Amino acid sequence: MIKRIQEWLSRKDRQEPVEISPDNIPRHVAIIMDGNGRWAKRRGMPRVVGHQNGMKAVKRATIAANDLGVEFLTLYAFSTENWTRPKDEVDFLMRLPVEFLAIELDELIEKNVQVRVMGNTEALPSHTRKAMEEAVARTLSNTGLILNFALNYGGRKEIEDCMRALGKDIQAGILSPEEITSELIDNRLSSSGLPDPDLLIRTSGEMRLSNFMLWQIAYSEFWFTDAYWPEFDKTHLMQAVAEYQRRTRRYGGLK
């Protein structure tokens, strides 16, 4: 009985799909994909099984976002802090993009999805970097949903790199401090070319940002779910969008 109650509690936000308006779909949805390991542990399985099932959720989320008319989907795939995990787990995580793209890239191309990557890809293993570069190159001309992977990404590191680059420009006389604007910083971040996220989703019941898009989410709407990432599906995304549509975005002003 206790186990059944625990299962119900972990799925208490799973409901039938809700009605949403097609006129107020968030352009950019960002997701902190969390809970793979705990999902597996609750089922008595190794953490890597959770990561494998999390890969299936990536496909579901991408298709769901595309169907709803989301223009940009950013997925937090691997943070700069994740390198501190056990080597076997890190090695497995570095193979997942290779496996995912080998299986799904052709379908992403058919659906007109464009793949992008932000983060320090130079530090990735060669097989991971090669798979991502191939996906970016093969989908470059696609004009549909932009699927943006944050891979070896950290918000503080991103801002640090931006400030260092601006400092070098000032030192070289290319730029003056007075010329630094929010727009200029936007263009120097690894998310350059993408609008700021309208909606930030985090799974697994955790309520923190974990160093994700710290500059870009200044006015994003947040939505948290207790569902672990391997459980995430179109219903969850629709619930998040429905909640987004119930809110009034003021950007510090009044409406």
Binding residues: 34-39, 47, 51, 79-81, 83, 85, 202, 208-210, 221
- The question of whether 34 is a catalytic residue gets the answer yes
Nearest to 13 by CA among 246, 220, 242: 242
- The question of whether 196 is a catalytic residue gets the answer no
Binding residues for Mg(2+) are: 34, 221
Binding residues for substrate are: 35-39, 47, 51, 79-81, 83, 85, 202, 208-210
- Write down the catalytic residue from 13, 82, 161, 211: 82
What is the 3-class SS of 86-127, one letter each residue? CHHHHHHHHHHHHHHHHHHHHHHHHCCCEEEEECCHHHCCHH
Nearest to 41 by CA among 49, 53, 32, 33: 49
- Write down the catalytic residue from 34, 66, 152, 198: 34
Q: What is the CA radius of gyration of the chain?
A: 19
C-beta of residue 91 within 8 angstroms of C-beta of residue 111: no
Q: Which sequence positions are flagged as catalytic? A: 34, 82
